[in-house]
Structures are given as C-alpha cells and as structure tokens.
C-alpha cells in the first residue's frame, strides 16, 4: 500500500477516491434538507451568486443536489459491484467445488454471457426486471458478473494446477477448504483491482440507466437523474447538466485510476543494483573480452546476506559451472546477474559487466531487452516460469515477436523449430498444448527452448536438467553444447549435480554459504580438487557400485543458515580438517595458477565420505 501511495498517480487517485467516499457519506447527512428545499421564487434560474450552479424547475439548488446525490450514486455503484463480484466469485469458483462435469457447464454459460457487452446485458435485465432502483441494481450486478466470473475462472485454474493444491488434496483437504485456504488468497490481488475498476464502471452504468429513466425513480435522485433533468434545459442553463456530468466523470475516474494504481503497485519491481564505491582497487585483472565479469557481488535481504562477495568471469564461449548445496546462493547469484532480484532484495557489486556493458545502472527496459536477445535465462522452476493459461508455442513465439520483431507466423515457426531442437516429440501438436499437458521434464525442455529463441551470447541455466532422466539429460546437454558451438554462446550452468557440471563445463565454481570456495578446471575436479568440501561432495554421489546395505556417505551436519554465518570458515563445523585457525579467521580465496581455493588446509589428505551421520 505504501508503495502505491508513493507514486504521483497512486497518491492523487487515492486522495480523489477518498474525497468521493467521504462526500458520499457526509453530503446526504448535512445537505439533504437544503437540497430538497423548494423555492418557487427561484425556479429554473441560471448561475447566480446564491445558486452558483443554478436551480431546477422547483427552484432547488443544483449544486447541493449534486453533492447529496453522491451518496446514492456511490452506494448503488458499490452495491451493484458487490452483487457482481459475489455472483462472479460463485460462478468462477464453482467448477472447483462441483468437479469436472458440472464445472464445464458453468464455464460454458459464463463464456456465452461474457460475449455480450455488459451495458447491453444491464439494459436487458433492467427491462426484464422492470425500471426502478432494485431492478437496475440487479441488472448492473448481473451484467458485471460474467466478466468477473471469467477472471476468477482463469485465475483459479492457474493456481489450481499447482502442486501445492494437489498436495493439499492428497493431504485430505476438502474442496471448500482448498478454495478458501489455498486458491482464493492466491488470486485475491487481481480480484481486488478488478473490483475497484468495476465499481467505476458500475457508477457510469447506473448514471446511464437513471438518465434513461430506467434507474432511480423520483423523488429519489442520483447523478444520472440530475443529468437527465439538467439536459432538458441545457441551452438555457448548461450548468445544471454539466455539474452532475462532471461528478460522474470525476468519481468514475477516481475508482478507475485507483484500480490502475493498485495493479501497478502489486506487480513486482526489481531492485536495481546499487552502485558501490567503485574507486576500490580492482583485485581481478580486467578481462575485456569476457562475456560476464562479476566482482564482489553481494545479495542481501533484510536480516540475511545469502551471497557474500562472489567474483568470477565467464569468457567468450566458455562454459562455467556453479555447484554447491541447496541454499548456498547459486540461484541468487544467477538472478542477480540477470537483475531479477525482487524487492526487498539488495544487490551490490564492485563490477558487473555483460559484454562490456555495466549492468549496475541503466533502466529496466534495457535489461528486459537484453534478456530477450543476448542473455538467455533457463530457470530452475519450469512450472512457475511458464504461463499456465497460454499455449507453449505462443509463449515461445512471443519472445521472438517482442524482441526480434518477427512476424506472428515466423515466430510460431521458430517456436516449433526450437521445440523440436529440444527434442519435444511431435512439436507442431505439442506447441498447441498448455504447460499442464507437458510432463515436468518436457516443461523444462520447453523452457530451454524459450531461452534459445534469440541468439544468446550467454545462457544462464539454473538447474536445467534436474528432473530429466539420463538419456534426455544427455540430449539436452548436447543441445546446449551444439548451440554453444554454433553461436559461440557462453554458458553459466548451475547445478547441485557435480557429475553433470564436471562433464559439461570447462571450469567449475564450488560455492558454500554464499561464497566461492574453489574454482578449478572441470577435468581436474576428480583428480585435483583441493577444498575439503569439494572432495566431500564428490564422495557423496551414489553410483551403480554403492553397497546397498550400508548407509550412504553424507556430509555431516547441516548447510549453514544464511542468517547465521559463523566467523571464520563457514565450512568449519562440518570439516574433518578444521583447526582453531579455521574457526577464528576466514580463509581468503587465493589465486594460484588460474585456480582458486579458500581453505587454510587445502591439499591435506582427508578421509572424506564417512558413512552415516
């Protein structure tokens, strides 16, 4: 909410709306009697000092009547919206509660109803139910309902397809509980926004109906009726028509703008990377040919700093892997590079350049363009990065349309081609399917395909093959390699699977507790790893010869909690080689012959992979 008020649009919309609402409550209380006072001496006057919007045909003050009418107009608009929202919620949510078959019928009905313009529906209902306040209230309410129902259905379908809803079902949650506890809270934001906007529309619609004589009936009056009366004498007394007209427009705008501000406020913002003292002497020699240079990158959230000074470079066409335990900050590092860290995250770095361009400043649009063209990002989480309500092919095609200016048809063809490239069988047919019709592995491949729509100079792939079986994994990794060979793209591959990384990459970075602890050529990983943590990771991988009767080798203890990183070496509590020095002083990342390691006792032989905990 604070964020919304901070923008000029949000602030003015909020103030305007508040004024309208306050007036709606106060005006009828204060001015009703005065506004109804008949003055036969002042019939149908134009603007005067006493009645500065003139008087009507009974000599009542127009301005006061407009003010008082705020109450009824706003109340009716809100009531109609409430009816519409409620009916829409019921219609939209009913498919979840009723189950498949009955749900389909409701959906079909809603789809037909949505096809009619709301105002036409309102007129239809108003005529059927008969003129009058109640009639038009129901009419506008029901006319709002289908659009809202459609919105609810779409949003609900999106959320209902996620695993946590499935998990709650398996855990025995009933359909109502699913809806109330798991689904609705997760779709509430867009609903609130739309309801606000719908209130503005209802206000206009009500004015329209009353103006036509179908809405509020005398002696009650709202803006629509005042407008109708004022219009009769518009050439003699324009003010009497203009005043209610202005009121309708202002109030309608207030609702609409506030809705707009809400929706802007709810969409997430990325936290731009803060500039830090750049005078600090650069420790890493500048490599101007490098695709990506990261120096002393830090990512902080309130209370935690999960990435604590990461430095590395990715050369032209080079494949660099990042391995490390869950929570070691691999994904955050990748997200920070792509400038995708969200509020309240803080990113800072001494250097962050991509193709020689400083990523620390420049506006968001430039970065988004970068993401669509020369920087491809393949996420760890394919389901939430694909839009469940959109066909896979369209989603891929959109990238090409937006960033490469391809025509709709070209873009679609490229999408199908990319799907084929990532070994989606029968890509023409599959492109027309929705994400939920894909298996987990296929979704991941589709994501990779999306990253490959452009001609990336760097592909950042965060756990791209985690859910794939060995045969497909091999194909996907080969695909990445082919792309690299063809386009000279560099690869930053993040994985917890040290085997995959060692096979695909030229160089491996091992991360622990938000820092790089070792950096070495991939082909030396199995023979020349020096950091005890790297060596323990290598020993913990089960293979086809592991003894099935013994517990698997594990690294004792838990990964470090990012909020409580110990002083000294973060790995010390789990390290068999730890000494006093390790606990007190943090080992620096020393460069030696192109390899880097952060350990006081690197190279000391160690009995890694003790069985059990």
Ligand X SMILES: Nc1ncnc2c1ncn2[C@@H]1O[C@H](COP(=O)(O)OP(=O)(O)OP(=O)(O)O)[C@@H](O)[C@H]1O
Q: Give the interface with ligand X as residue ranges (CB under 6 A).
A: 301, 304, 306, 324, 326-332, 380, 496, 562
> Please, what is the minimum distance in Å from the beta carbon of residue 204 to other proteins?
34
> Please, what is the minimum distance in Å from the beta carbon of residue 457 to other proteins?
21
Which of 75, 158, 175, 181 touches other proteins by CB under 8 A? 181
- Residue of 151, 133, 130, 135 whose CA lies nearest to 87: 151
Mention every residue, 6+ apart, whose C-beta is less than 8 A from residue 277: 350
Which of 40, 267, 439, 527 touches other proteins by CB under 8 A? 439
Binding-site ranges for ligand SF4 (CB under 6 A): 532, 569, 571-572, 575, 577-578, 582, 587, 599-601
> Please, what is the minimum distance in Å from the beta carbon of residue 447 to ligand X?
15
Size of the site for other proteins (CB under 8 A): 76
Which CB, 129 or 383, lies closer to Mg ion? Answer: 383
Site for other proteins contains 442 (CB under 8 A): yes
Which CB, 192 or 578, lies closer to ligand SF4? Answer: 578
Cα–Cα separations (whole angstroms), residue 104 to 108, 174, 477, 530:
6, 20, 41, 61
> Please, what is the minimum distance in Å from the beta carbon of residue 425 to other proteins?
8
> Please, what is the minimum distance in Å from the beta carbon of residue 245 to ligand X?
49
Site for other proteins contains 171 (CB under 8 A): yes
Cα–Cα separations (whole angstroms), residue 508 to 44, 277, 473, 503:
87, 29, 19, 10
Which CB, 130 or 542, lies closer to other proteins? Answer: 542
> Please, what is the minimum distance in Å from the beta carbon of residue 333 to ligand X?
7
Burial class (CB in 10 A: 0-12, 13-18, 19+), 520: buried
Q: Which does 572 bind (CB under 5 to 8 A by kind): ligand X, ligand SF4, Mg ion, none?
A: ligand SF4
Site for other proteins contains 310 (CB under 8 A): no
Which of 29, 49, 281, 544 touches other proteins by CB under 8 A? 544
Which CB, 61 or 296, lies closer to ligand X? Answer: 296
Site for other proteins contains 247 (CB under 8 A): no
Q: Are 6 and 264 in contact (CB under 8 A)?
A: no
Q: Are 553 and 611 in contact (CB under 8 A)?
A: yes
Cα–Cα separations (whole angstroms), residue 153 to 64, 108, 246, 388:
44, 11, 36, 13
Q: Which does 369 bind (CB under 5 to 8 A by kind): ligand SF4, Mg ion, other proteins, none?
A: none
**Cα gap 207→209, rounded to integer Å:** 6
Residue 395, Ramachandran bin (φ over 0: left; ψ between -120 and 50: alpha; else beta): alpha
> Please, what is the minimum distance in Å from the beta carbon of residue 259 to Mg ion?
36
Q: How many CA atoms lie within 13 A of 10 on its CB side?
A: 14
Which of 383, 421, 583, 606 touches other proteins by CB under 8 A? 383
> Please, what is the minimum distance in Å from the beta carbon of residue 562 to ligand X?
4
Burial class (CB in 10 A: 0-12, 13-18, 19+), 100: exposed
Q: Are 63 and 243 in contact (CB under 8 A)?
A: yes
Which of 49, 115, 170, 486 touches other proteins by CB under 8 A? 170
User: Please, what is the end-to-end C-alpha distance for the chain in angstroms?
Assistant: 48
Residues 371-430 that bind Mg ion (CB under 5 A): 380
> Please, what is the minimum distance in Å from the beta carbon of residue 319 to ligand X?
19
SS3 letters for 82-103?
HHHHHHHHHHHHHHHHHCHHHH
Burial class (CB in 10 A: 0-12, 13-18, 19+), 172: exposed
Which of 42, 331, 350, 465 touches Mg ion by CB under 5 A? 331
Site for other proteins contains 173 (CB under 8 A): yes
Site for other proteins contains 102 (CB under 8 A): no
Burial class (CB in 10 A: 0-12, 13-18, 19+), 559: middle
Site for other proteins contains 542 (CB under 8 A): yes
Which CB, 133 or 380, lies closer to Mg ion? Answer: 380
Site for other proteins contains 540 (CB under 8 A): yes
DSSP code string of 133-185 = HHHHHHHHHHHHHHHHHHHHHHHHHHHHTSHHHHHHHHTT--HHHIIIIIIHH
Residues 503-532 that bind other proteins (CB under 8 A): 503-504, 526
């Amino acid at each position: 909410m604070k964020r919304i008020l901070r923008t000029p649009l949000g602030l003015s919309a909020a103030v305007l709306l508040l004024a309208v609402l306050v007036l709606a409550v106060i005006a009828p209380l204060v001015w009703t009697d005065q506004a109804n006072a008949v003055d036969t001496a002042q019939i149908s006057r134009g603007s005067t000092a006493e009645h500065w919007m003139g008087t009507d045909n009974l000599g009542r003050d127009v301005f006061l009547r407009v003010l008082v009418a705020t109450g009824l107009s706003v109340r009716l608009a809100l009531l109609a919206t409430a009816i519409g929202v409620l009916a829409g919620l019921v219609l939209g949510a009913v498919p979840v509660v009723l189950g498949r078959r009955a749900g389909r019928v409701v959906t079909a009905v809603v789809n037909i109803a949505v096809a009619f313009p709301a105002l036409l529906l309102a007129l239809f209902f108003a005529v059927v139910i008969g003129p009058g306040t109640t009639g038009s209230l129901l009419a506008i309410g029901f006319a709002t309902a289908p659009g809202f129902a459609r919105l609810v259905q779409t949003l609900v379908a999106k959320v209902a397809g996620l695993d946590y809803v499935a998990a709650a079902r398996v855990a025995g949650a009933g359909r109502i509980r699913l809806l109330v506890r798991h689904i609705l809270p997760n779709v509430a934001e867009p609903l609130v926004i739309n309801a606000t906007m719908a209130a503005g529309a209802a206000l206009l619609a009500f004015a329209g109906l009353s103006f036509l004589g179908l809405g509020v009936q005398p002696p009650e009056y709202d803006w629509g009726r005042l407008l109708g009366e004022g219009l009769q004498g518009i050439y003699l007394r324009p003010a009497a028509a203009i005043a209610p007209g202005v009121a309708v427009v202002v109030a309608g705008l207030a609702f609409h703008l506030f809705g707009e501000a809400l929706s802007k406020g709810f969409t997430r913002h990325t936290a731009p990377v803060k500039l830090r003292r750049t005078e600090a002497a650069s420790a890493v020699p500048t490599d101007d040919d490098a695709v990506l240079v990261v120096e002393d990158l830090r990512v902080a959230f309130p209370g935690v700093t999960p990435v604590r000074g990461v430095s590395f470079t990715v050369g032209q066409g080079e494949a660099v892997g990042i391995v490390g335990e869950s929570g070691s900050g691999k994904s955050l590092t990748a997200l920070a590079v792509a400038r995708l860290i969200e509020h309240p995250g803080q990113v800072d770095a001494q250097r962050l350049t991509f193709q020689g361009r400083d990523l620390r400043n420049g506006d968001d649009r430039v970065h988004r363009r970068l993401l669509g063209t020369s920087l491809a990002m393949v996420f760890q989480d394919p389901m939430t990065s694909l839009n469940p309500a959109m066909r896979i092919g369209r989603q891929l095609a959109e990238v090409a349309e937006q960033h490469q200016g391809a025509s709709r048809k070209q873009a679609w063809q490229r999408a199908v081609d990319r799907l084929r490239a990532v070994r989606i069988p029968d890509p023409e047919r599959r492109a027309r399917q929705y994400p939920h019709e894909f298996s987990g592995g296929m979704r991941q491949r589709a994501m990779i395909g999306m990253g490959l729509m452009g001609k990336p100079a760097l592909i950042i792939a965060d756990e791209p093959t985690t859910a794939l079986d060995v045969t497909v994994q091999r194909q996907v990794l080969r695909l990445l390699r082919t792309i690299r060979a063809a386009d000279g793209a560099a690869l930053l591959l993040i994985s917890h699977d040290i085997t995959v990384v060692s096979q695909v990459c030229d160089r491996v970075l091992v991360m622990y507790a938000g820092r790089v602890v070792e950096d070495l050529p991939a082909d030396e990983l199995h023979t020349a790893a020096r950091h005890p943590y790297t060596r323990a990771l290598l020993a913990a991988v089960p293979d086809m010869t592991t003894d099935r009767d013994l517990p698997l080798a594990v690294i004792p203890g838990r990964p470090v909690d990012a909020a409580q990183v110990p002083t000294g070496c973060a790995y010390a509590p789990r390290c068999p080689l730890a000494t006093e020095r390790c606990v007190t002083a943090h080992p620096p990342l020393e460069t030696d012959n192109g390899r880097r390691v952060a350990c006081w006792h690197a190279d000391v032989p160690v009995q890694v992979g003790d069985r059990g905990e």
